[in-house]
Every structure is written in C-alpha cells, then in structure tokens.
Amino acid sequence: MSIRRTNAMAATLFAVALGCAAGCSGSDAVEAAAADASRPASACAGDPRAQTYAAGMEQPGLAGNARVRLVVADPAPPAKGLNAWTLQVVDAGGAPIVGAVVTVKPFMPDHGHGSSLVPSATPTDAAGRSSVTGLELFMAGVWEVSVLVALPADAGVSATDTAKLTFCVDG
Ligand SMILES: [Cu+2]
C-alpha cells in the first residue's frame, strides 16, 4: 500500500471519527462513501448455522462419544484460504483422550462441494492434540468442517464420532 493511499485512508478515518462535524469537505464525504462501497459484503454474516470462533471452543460429537476442541485457529477467526488448526479430542468432562486420531473434511453445504486439497492431521503430543494443516477454505461462504474421531481401543469400545465446526468465511 502506498503512503499516499495510507494518508488518504487516515484522512477518511479521521473525517468519519469526527462525524464530519468539523470541517468535513465534500471530497472527504465522497471518499468515505467510495470506501464503503468497495468493502465486500459478507457472504454469510448472521447465518444461524455459523458459529462464532473462540480459541478453545468445543463441539460435541454427534454420537456423544467425544468432544472436539478447537484449541486455536490460524488465522483466527478462520478465513478464506489456507488455515491451520490445533484440535484436541476430549471426553464429556473435558479430559484429553490420548491416542484419538482425527480426520478433517471441509464441505460447503450450500454448494455441495468440499476442497480438493485434503487436510492432514498429525497427533502432536500426549494430550490428544493434533495439528491440522492444508485446511483450504477456498471461497467465501459457510464452511462445515467435519472432524471424524477414531477413539483408541482402550477407551472401552472401538468407537468413532464426528463433530462439525461451522464458520462463515468472508472473502
Ligand atoms: Cu463453494
């Protein structure tokens, strides 16, 4: 971004901050309107399916066998493009399930497609955490990210579960 553009934006922000009460010129007002028009509208803001990202947020598995914790997302909140997540599989009481293996599948329910890039999930420590890379949310809109969990055999039964994290991704 050029210095000139930065200055123009700063001037616009200053004018907006003042509410155009003190010496707001006509050109500033036009510039402010142009800035608003150039900002892309959100593809899905307010969509009731979308969750609000927070580090450490948890989603229960559909089968009730495990919960998936999104320890941290990078970028945060999840954004269009490549994302990297740290996931942790925990039990109903929040205790890590050591040895749980996760598989991550992104899907756009409104368009009926996933991502051609298959995310990789690698267990990183003894606390049930996995590092997920290659999570490519390549277009704006609602993305449903399914986390398939395979629980270790010593969890009682050989069980699986699926938790879905859903976000509105803006362009
Ligand atoms: Cu799509």
CA 97/CA 121 separation, integer angstroms: 16
- What are the tens digits of pLDDT across the range 2-24? 444 444 444 334 333 333 343 43
At 29, give phi and psi (nearest 5°).
-65, -40
Residue 147 pLDDT more than 60? yes
Q: Is residue 98 located within the same domain as residue 155? A: yes
- Stated pTM of the model: 0.75
Structural domain contains residue 160: yes
The Å distance, Cα 138 to ligand 1 centre, comes to 8
The Å distance, Cα 16 to ligand 1 centre, comes to 35
The Å distance, Cα 160 to ligand 1 centre, comes to 28
Averaged pLDDT score across all residues of the chain: 82
Q: Is residue 34 located within the same domain as residue 72? A: no
Helical pair 3-17 and 26-38, crossing angle rounded to 10 deg: 100
The Å distance, Cα 148 to ligand 1 centre, comes to 21
Q: Is residue 77 located within the same domain as residue 159? A: yes
